[in-house]
């Protein structure tokens, strides 16, 4: 099956298992955070994975190559973006492994049912909507700001959709870490692994990767810092591996 590419879209090579992805030319495009998150996630061959707010479908596509998950579902509220993600799935002949569902995160429990997944993954909007005026039809604003869902919505929904001992994976901004840990514990997602991401040595963290366990016992493991660039300004070996870039 070939790719159906609309005039406002581009088809790009992910340089991983022969995968390609459709993206809007002028809308929000996936970044390094999605790649790092996909490498942080673990999923076994008999597990079902849900990506909340899948956008272009980048995380399900990457997880199809990086994990042995039985089934990966992406939930996306924007109809045109969900349609584009579905065409990426179809073009890559991954319909047997990936489902794209159009829907609201706040209605996900009624869509899928409680305890439907072993793993929930999310790369949510990082910024609180606040009091500023935002265009609710702007794909970039929707991807970056809590317009359609808040951090609290994400955590509450994720906990409800996970089976007991299910795993939750998220990438976010370090300035929200207090809210994240507090919010996770409120909904019985015990923080288990935290990793800071820095551009290079000596710089403050720009991202965090966090894993939670539903109904897990207290005990947080802090992983070594992930550095994006080395002293020469090149990707570190670990980042190259995550991007599948040959050394």
| DSSP helix, strand, coil percent of the chain (3-state; round to 5) | 30, 30, 40
CATH number for 30-243 (one of 3.40.50.300, 3.40.50.150, 3.40.50.20, 3.40.50.450): it is: 3.40.50.150
pLDDT at 128: 67
CA–CA distance from 245 to each of 88, 112, 230, 241 (Å)? 22, 36, 15, 6
pLDDT tens digits for the chain (247 residues)? 589 999 999 999 999 989 999 999 988 788 999 999 999 999 999 999 999 999 999 999 999 999 999 999 999 999 999 999 999 999 999 999 999 999 999 999 999 999 999 999 999 987 665 544 444 445 544 445 445 689 999 999 999 999 999 999 999 999 999 999 999 999 999 999 999 999 999 999 999 999 999 999 999 999 999 999 999 999 999 999 988 754 3
Specify whether the CB–CB gap between 162 and 117 falls below 8 A.
yes
pLDDT at 227: 97
pLDDT at 126: 79
Distance CA 245, CA 247 (A): 6
Distance CA 55, CA 149 (A): 14
Distance CA 60, CA 51 (A): 7
Domain ranges of the chain: 30-243
The pTM is what?
0.91
């Amino acid at each position: 099956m070939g790719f159906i590419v609309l005039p406002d879209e581009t088809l790009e090579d992910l340089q991983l298992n022969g995968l390609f992805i459709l993206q809007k030319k002028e809308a929000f495009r996936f970044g390094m955070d999605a790649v790092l998150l996909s490498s942080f996630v673990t999923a076994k061959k008999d597990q079902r994975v849900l990506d909340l707010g899948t956008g272009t479908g980048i995380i399900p596509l990457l997880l199809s190559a990086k994990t042995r998950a039985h089934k990966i579902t992406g939930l996306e509220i924007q109809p045109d973006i969900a349609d584009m993600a579905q065409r990426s799935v179809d073009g890559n002949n991954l319909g047997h492994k990936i489902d794209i569902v159009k829907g609201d995160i706040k209605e996900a429990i009624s869509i899928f049912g409680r305890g439907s997944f072993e793993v929930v993954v999310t790369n949510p909007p990082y910024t609180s909507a606040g009091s500023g005026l935002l265009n609710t039809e702007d794909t970039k604003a929707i991807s970056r700001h809590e317009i359609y869902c808040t951090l609290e919505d994400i955590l509450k929904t994720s906990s409800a959709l996970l089976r007991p001992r299910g795993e939750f994976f998220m990438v976010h901004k370090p300035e929200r870490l207090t809210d994240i840990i507090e919010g996770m514990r409120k909904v019985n997602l015990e923080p288990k692994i935290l990793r800071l991401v820095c551009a290079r040595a000596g710089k403050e963290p720009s991202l965090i990767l966090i894993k939670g366990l539903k109904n897990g016992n207290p005990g947080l493991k802090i992983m070594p810092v992930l550095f994006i660039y080395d002293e020469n300004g090149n990707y570190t070996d670990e980042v190259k591996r995550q991007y599948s870039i040959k050394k």
